[in-house]
Structure 1
């Protein structure tokens, strides 16, 4: 900018003979606050151009910020993933001033599909669509051509899309990554020969691709959450059904007092215990009275059963339910304990063989008239009998294999005379396998000692049951939970 030089001694009169105070008729140049000449309009052209450039850049920046803010709002607000994906090519092309954009997603089966395509207003992109679809079909064919679907080769996809579009289209593509796995590509293109993919434009496209990945992952997490909620509800129903299948309370049997408790490690467990009347009349009375047998029917024989399905969770619970139904049908045939286990094994063998699971089962029948206990064991933990008269501890066991292991196996049978004060505990391996923080198991020795102490100091089967559960909980620690189901049945012979 040129400046008019200013005289050292200030402005001189134009006409020396004229009064200095008289106004001059020659126009004076305007000055600034410092007395310097102000720039002319011709000198202002570069300043205005610079201001216009800055204003235009600010408008572009605000436009980009508004578009990205709108995309973030859509990400938070939209519940439909497809509605959100419709915005991706549009936003990607507008923030970069490109002609259009395309979103390509990879399906779990190896298919590559053009999900969305957008072209700016007035632009024709039918040839773009055909070119990208042709490239995706070719990459899909190579992904599905082998014995098993494989992830699409993104380098091949980029090459095919670029080759089909030709050199006159300026193309940029970036990955859509979810948990470090590429799930698609976002392409943005322009037909303008002067268009260049600057670092800023590339960053903007990557930012839109990252938002796309977040939306897809959120949608998948929502689907997983709904499936989990549905599974949790089904598990709750299964647990409720299983709880109803177990005895809601112990029956009243002449000369016997009972207590039972089952704690499952999961919502649905594989432990099983039951009290089964051995006559149809008694069974009908059980149904009428909901598990409480009146004194008139208390002299009939009763079966006391405990079992454990290998494994935990829903599969074990289903097998437990099947075992219960088949065993109750066998009991009504009035066979001996050994024959009942043999028939049960033959019936369940085919189903258990296919499931690769087995069942341990201890079956006993008690006769209130004679106080005889008849029993047979299918590889279950033997119940412990504490004899009140001698203070001895016996294991009630017979030879027999797991239910479902061998269809032709046979089972042995035994019996024992019970006396007043004798107490029996039926238990599952959740007691003996319970481990503390050091990895030590509660084992059968600790259970035997605790049971013997309880028989000497506890008056009722309920007190014995509570004490044994408390001992195991103390052993594993108050903050730990047993990893296996725990079931305990206590049977005490009352004085005559």
Structure 2
């Protein structure tokens, strides 16, 4: 009789089950840890980007850099070095999580900085400052500190180094960590460049404001309107190429000591009419123009002929103009309304053009004379012309004759004479002549183009 056997017991699966679950849990933990690290890195970099957009102070932003680089790489600390234009290497910011090590770390890095700066000053470094700093920082920190550094590049120039360090012997500089440090360094470079652009923009805004003030002052120095001179009509316009120009014109009431009529509110006995041009443009030319105006107005009251006035002006201004390497062309004339006589002298300026109503022809008013400021011993000549009713004179600067079109052709004196001749025959007065001549020059150079030089024109016509 067979004995019945007990039913077979199921195999014990507890050990194999535990073996299967452990890798799964470990994998899940690894994925979760990587996810947390990824979120932490994204949050830190997002904070850095927000700071880059929000901070107006570069120093505040730089304060974050070593800390951010440390946290995204799980290192012990970070250091930011900047290279100054004078060759100095400076430890700009330091971050160290262990406050007990911070002092030693700072001393080591500052020692490296002093060595590199001194070596640069004495030209002992053969390699680049960055390579020398890498070497010295590693030496000073010692072999127990693992160091990684990357460059801060601004406009293709290395402007500093960002270091991250760790004392953990198991710490390794993985490719990911290196990329993160470089990313933080790139953000630092953007911040430095933005700050420099902001500084330049502020300088430009300040310069623009100064130019506006200079242009306003210069505009006030030029005659606001043409004076009333018995027997003649006047029109004038100065059109600077820049906000501040070197062209100058003026109407000066000349009353010699024996005739002080204008001081009593009566019309001047005669008038100085002047036009000038400082070589160059912009603020320097404007300053010289202002100086010329003041000195000429003083000289014009000394009861001298136009030639003597230019001679005195040249001697007074010679030293200042010689040092500035700039010169002034000037045409000075004095008109006597009762005699209808114009006395003049030229210091190498474009000779004014005179249209004679009787002959319907144009002549140049010119005398020999050098530029103001070129030679202290220059001599100038006087000349006179008798004006008749209908006679018209234009004083102009070389911005008219030198105006060029897109092909490079200049307007030149021949075209100006032609248009001036036509205007005197057809335009009803000085203002119409002035407007016509400006329009002809603009038409010549093209409506879309702007003249590169200042243009000034004064029109004087003897009443019929």
TM-score w.r.t. structure 2 length?
Answer: 0.94
SS of alignment partner, residue 317 of structure 2 = helix
TM-superposed deviation, 1:282: 5.9
SS of alignment partner, residue 360 of structure 2 = coil
281, 289, 294: which one pairs with 1:325? 294
Is the counterpart of residue 127 in structure 1 residue 104 in structure 2?
Answer: yes
TM-superposed deviation, 1:145: 3.1
2:144 match: 168
TM-score w.r.t. structure 1 length?
Answer: 0.88
TM-superposed deviation, 1:29: 9.3
Is the counterpart of residue 140 in structure 1 residue 117 in structure 2?
Answer: yes
Is the counterpart of residue 230 in structure 1 residue 239 in structure 2?
Answer: no
TM-superposed deviation, 1:122: 5.1
- CA change 1:283–1:190 in 2 (3 A) is farther
SS of alignment partner, residue 150 of structure 2 = strand
Separation (CA, whole Å) in 2 of partners of 1:323 and 1:144: 48
- CA change 1:176–1:151 in 2 (3 A) is farther
**TM alignment of 1:94-113, pairs within 5 A:** 94-113=71-90
**TM alignment of 1:428-443, pairs within 5 A:** 428-443=397-412
Q: String of CA shifts for 1:42-88, please: whole Å, max 9, x gaps.
A: 42111000000110011011101100000000001111111110100
Structure 1, gaps ≥5 residues long: 1-14, 18-23, 31-36, 286-293
SS of alignment partner, residue 125 of structure 1 = helix
Separation (CA, whole Å) in 2 of partners of 1:471 and 1:29: 110
Is the counterpart of residue 423 in structure 1 residue 392 in structure 2?
Answer: yes
1:477 match: 446
Separation (CA, whole Å) in 2 of partners of 1:393 and 1:139: 75
Q: String of CA shifts for 1:140-170, please: whole Å, max 9, x gaps.
A: 1232336xxx996211111111122222211
297, 306, 321: which one pairs with 2:267? 297
Q: Would you say the 8 A contact 1:143–1:151 is kept in 2? A: no
SS of alignment partner, residue 207 of structure 2 = helix
**TM alignment of 1:232-311, pairs within 5 A:** 232-279=208-255, 281=260, 284=263, 296-297=266-267, 300-311=269-280
Q: Which has the larger radius of gyration?
A: 1
Separation (CA, whole Å) in 2 of partners of 1:109 and 1:216: 17
Structure 2, gaps ≥5 residues long: none
360, 366, 371: which one pairs with 1:397? 366
SS of alignment partner, residue 448 of structure 1 = helix
1:115 match: 92
Q: Would you say the 8 A contact 1:140–1:152 is kept in 2? A: no
TM-superposed deviation, 1:283: 5.8
- CA change 1:172–1:282 in 2 (3 A) is farther
CA-based RMSD of the aligned residues comes to 2.2
Q: Would you say the 8 A contact 1:99–1:123 is kept in 2? A: no
